[in-house]
Amino acid sequence: MMRRLIVEQGDTALQYGSGQGHEGLREQITEVMALEGIHAHADDVVVTTGSQQALDLVTTIFINPGDVVVAEAPSYVGALGVFRAHEAEVVHVPMDENGLIPSVLESTLERLKAEGKRVKFLYTVPNYHNPGGVTLSLERRPQVLEICRRFGILVLEDNPYGLLGFDREPLPAMRSMDKEGVIYLGSFSKTFAPGFRVGWAVAPHGVREKLVLAAESSILCPSNASQMAISSYLAHSDWQGQIKKFREQYRERRDAMIEALEEYMPAATWNVPDGGFYVWIKLPEGLDAKSMLPRAVTARVAYVPGTAFFFDGSGSDHMRLSFCYPTPERIREGVRRLAGVVDAEMETVRIFGPRGARPTTTVQSPSPDLA
């Protein structure tokens, strides 16, 4: 595919392109988004270097030091890093099995308003949340939008996993219900290939203009070669069929992980995701996922401690397991090893009792791939 691209369209693919992104690809992106009920024009789309760059640009535009971003508890570690870098304060709002809880969102915004805090936007991953694994229900979507509109804050809808549901058609995106109040972020990383680093943002007109300017200042333009490769893939391949295959593969892996957890780790609790990549696990009482990590690495198994997904470093009683990459057999073996690690840590905690004060030096551990 790449060879043909270079031979046939090298003159364009190896050149600078438009700051807003390749026009043909932007057209195709509107077709991708139509699957989730979004009716947008190619002019509304800004192509970025992965949706991570869109996240960074939106944050650059809106956030001054001390501004507040409201986000789910827990929240995507890569977004928290961006908000932290721009000196935002992140206030978490809890989720239940139906996603973000509107009544708590409302009371949190009331409280922040009373405290005189300047809230800029709600950052949310409504579908197959990373790391929570849950989906914001259809019923709650307009409620969340209405609350945000009332408080005058934007919704930053980050949707890398929307098409990766196992058992049902995609829910309508929040952007499909509100054109003016939502900035939508999409990505080809999870549905095609992360190596091309192509994502996009769809924003209300005024914001979109700023996004293009910010993107041009930052990188001049996104990679033409990457964009044209994806454009060609969308034009000439059965990409929807490919996504279906991915979904089936991920479902099989999810099943392997859940079965292994039921067999090996009955003392822990978890949600069963119906899409996406992640299982969010609550450890047995008294265990600290961060202190336990070295033991796991020694046993040749890794996870991301829950602390990565909270702005204030809480969440040590949780961990995120990912089932997207390993085969079902490897997943089963990984969970078996992890169960041994959990048992050994429980034994240690039993001996020394519940957690006391932390010593001066905390455990340092090699960082796994957090994203």
Instruction: Name the residues that contact another protein, by CB under 8 A.
Output: 288, 291-295, 297-298, 300, 345, 347-349, 351-353, 355-366
Q: Give the nearest distance from C-beta 366 to another protein in angstroms.
A: 6
> At its nearest, how many Å lie between another protein and the CB of residue 316?
12
Peptide bond just before 170 cis, omega within 30 deg = no
User: Which residue in this structure is represented by tokens 């990459």?
Assistant: 325
Query: Which residue lies nearer to another protein by CB, 193 or 297?
Result: 297
Q: Which is closer to another protein, CB of 7 or CB of 351?
A: 351
In terms of CB distance, is 117 or 295 closer to another protein?
295
Contact 88, 81 (CB under 8 A): no
What's the min distance (Å) between Cβ of 355 and another protein?
6
- What count of Cα atoms within 13 Å lies in the side-chain half-sphere of residue 226? 20
Nearer to another protein, 294 or 326 (CB): 294
Helix (H, G, I), strand (E, B), or coil: what is residue 198?
Answer: coil
Cis peptide leading into residue 131 (ω within 30°)? yes
Least gap, CB of 340 to another protein (angstroms): 13
DSSP states along 235-281 = HHS-HHHHHHHHHHHHHHHHHHHHHHHHHH-TTSEE---SBSSEEEE
Cβ-based burial of 149 (10 A; exposed 0-12, middle 13-18, buried ≥19): middle
Q: Which is nearer to another protein, 195 or 356 (CB)?
A: 356
Minimum CB separation of residue 313 from another protein in Å reads 15
Distance of closest approach, residue 353 Cβ to another protein, in angstroms: 6
- The least CB distance from residue 304 to another protein, in Å, is 16
Q: Which of 29, 45, 20, 41 is nearest to 239 (CA)?
A: 29
Q: Which is nearer to another protein, 226 or 307 (CB)?
A: 307
Q: Cα–chain-centroid distance for residue 257?
A: 20
User: Which CB atom, from 3 or from 300, has the smaller least distance to another protein?
Assistant: 300
Q: Which residues pair with 270 in a beta bridge?
A: 281
Residue ranges with strand state E in the chain: 45-48, 68-73, 89-96, 99-100, 119-124, 154-158, 182-187, 199-202, 269-270, 278-282, 304-305, 318-322
